[in-house]
């Protein structure tokens, strides 16, 4: 296969991941070319990109019916150490080739697994996200927040409703009457009865801690997942994220190439 790896250059934060994935592809004998972020080649069989912000490139690849691997931060544990790698989408929209996965990598996510929460389940918790983030642009986060809050007000069974804004949102939109919860993410999750999220990775944190999650968007890594599903979910999750060393050695591609087998 002739594969293009697209990069913003050696000074970009994503370069070390792009280079690691490229090295792994070379280990498997593929013809790999580094392309600039603005290039639009037509003669490649597959592409590798960081994130989904390069919408023009993604549309170019879709038009040519070329698969692309999206690499991004992982989901469990140190998100700088672990890198998510999946085909043709971000997060829950990606194909990680991990349906009904075995337990051979389970120890990697169990090492990161947080303790089961022992909180009081005293409220419903809505998780904030950055409205301009690529993962929520297709929905409109503020409208979603309004709807979820109003639904909970009418069906909350006397439980209070709290909101935890995303820490990167400097002036978060907060519906009138919705109270903000302070403190750490862990403590906010642990004392909740249910966590409500559009597709925030906090849904992963809550599921790990044994708190039920209601995720509205298929892009969530816990969309449709219940606590009863958690054992298989953990096995599947272990095949979504990889270390730099695994990418360089080709182990990551050894798994993802199943798409073509």
Is it the case that residue 140 has pLDDT exceeding 90?
A: no
From the candidate CATH numbers 3.40.50.300, 3.40.50.720, 3.30.1600.10, 3.40.50.2000, the one assigned to the domain spanning 123-237:
3.40.50.720
206 Cβ partners below 8 Å, 6+ apart? 189, 192, 195, 197, 212, 213, 222
- Residues listed for the chain: 261
pLDDT, tens digit (0-9, with 9 covering 90-100), for 62-117: 999 999 999 999 999 998 899 999 999 999 999 999 999 999 999 988 887 667 77
The region of weakest confidence among 10-14, 111-115, 139-143 is: 111-115
CA-CA distance, 86 to 48, in Å (whole number)? Answer: 10
From the candidate CATH numbers 1.10.3470, 3.40.50, 1.10.1420, 1.10.287, the one assigned to the domain spanning 2-98+239-260:
3.40.50
pLDDT, tens digit (0-9, with 9 covering 90-100), for 186-215: 999 999 999 999 999 999 999 999 999 999
Beta strands in the chain (DSSP E): 2-7, 31-36, 46-50, 67-73, 83-87, 123-127, 161-164, 179-180, 192-197, 213-215, 241-242
pLDDT, average across residues 209-234: 94
Domain extent listing, the chain: 2-98+239-260, 123-237
Q: Predicted confidence band at 158 (pLDDT cuts at 50, 70, 90)?
A: confident
Other beta carbons within 10 angstroms of residue 172's beta carbon come to: 19
What was the pLDDT predicted at 156? 57
pLDDT, average across residues 42-46: 97
Q: Predicted confidence band at 132 (pLDDT cuts at 50, 70, 90)?
A: confident
């Amino acid at each position: 296969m002739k594969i293009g790896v697209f990069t913003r250059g050696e000074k970009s934060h994503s370069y070390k991941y792009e280079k690691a994935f490229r090295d792994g592809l070379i280990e498997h004998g593929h013809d790999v070319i580094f392309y600039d972020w603005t290039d639009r080649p037509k003669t490649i069989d597959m592409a590798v990109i960081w994130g989904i912000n390069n919408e023009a490139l993604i549309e170019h690849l879709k038009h040519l019916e070329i698969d692309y691997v999206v690499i991004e931060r992982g989901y469990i544990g140190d998100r700088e150490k672990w890198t998510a790698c999946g085909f043709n989408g971000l997060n829950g929209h990606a194909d990680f080739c991990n349906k009904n996965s075995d337990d051979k990598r389970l120890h990697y996510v169990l090492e990161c697994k947080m303790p089961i929460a022992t909180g009081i389940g005293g409220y419903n918790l809505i998780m904030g996200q950055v409205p301009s983030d690529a993962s929520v642009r297709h929905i409109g986060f503020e409208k979603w927040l309004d709807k979820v809050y109003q639904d909970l007000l009418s069906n909350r069974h006397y439980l209070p409703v709290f909101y935890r804004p995303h820490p990167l949102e400097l002036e978060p939109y907060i519906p009138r009457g919705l109270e903000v919860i302070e403190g750490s993410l862990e403590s906010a999750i642990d004392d909740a009865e249910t966590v409500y999220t559009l597709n925030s990775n906090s849904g992963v944190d809550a599921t790990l801690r044994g708190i039920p999650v209601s995720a509205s968007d298929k892009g969530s890594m816990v969309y449709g997942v219940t606590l009863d599903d958690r054992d298989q979910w953990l096995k599947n999750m272990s095949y979504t994220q990889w270390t730099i060393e695994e990418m360089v050695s080709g182990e990551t591609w050894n798994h993802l190439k199943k798409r073509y087998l």
